[in-house]
Amino acid sequence: MSMIDKLHKPFFYGLIALVCASAGLVILKIWDVALPDDLFFKILATIGVLILLFGFLLVANSDFGIHKKLKDENYLD
């Protein structure tokens, strides 16, 4: 198993953790936890950028990883 194949699960779990963290942050804001608006939006924007990065890395990983062999053998489109 190559290094690229080993990275798929950590990227996926990281993506799930980021989504859960952003959901938790929004829930805290809804329940009026003392968090300044500018800090809230900065944290949310940072999490959004990290979600996009992890999503891109997952797509790149699947293209060059396990699925590459199946694509080369014409099992996948």
pTM of the model: 0.73
Question: Do the domain assignments include residue 20?
Answer: yes
Residue 45 lies in a domain: yes
Query: Can you tell me the distance from the alpha carbon of 32 to that of 49, in angstroms, rounded to the nearest whole number?
Result: 25
Residue range 50-65: average pLDDT? 83
Q: Confirm if 64 and 35 have CB atoms less than 8 A apart.
A: no
Q: How confident is the model at residue 7 (pLDDT cuts 50, 70, 90)?
A: confident
Q: Is residue 28 part of a domain?
A: yes
Residue 65 lies in a domain: yes
Measuring CA to CA, how many Å separate 34 from each of 14, 25, 26, 38?
27, 12, 12, 12
Q: Does a structural domain hold residue 42?
A: yes
CA atoms within 13 A on the CB side of 66: 7
Across 62-74, average pLDDT? 68
Q: Tokens 């798929």 label which residue? A: 8
CB 3 within 8 A of CB 32: no
Report if residue 77 sits inside a domain: no
**Arithmetic mean of pLDDT over the chain:** 84
Q: How many domains does the chain have?
A: 1
User: For residue 29, what pLDDT is reported?
Assistant: 92
Give the structural domain span for 15.
3-72
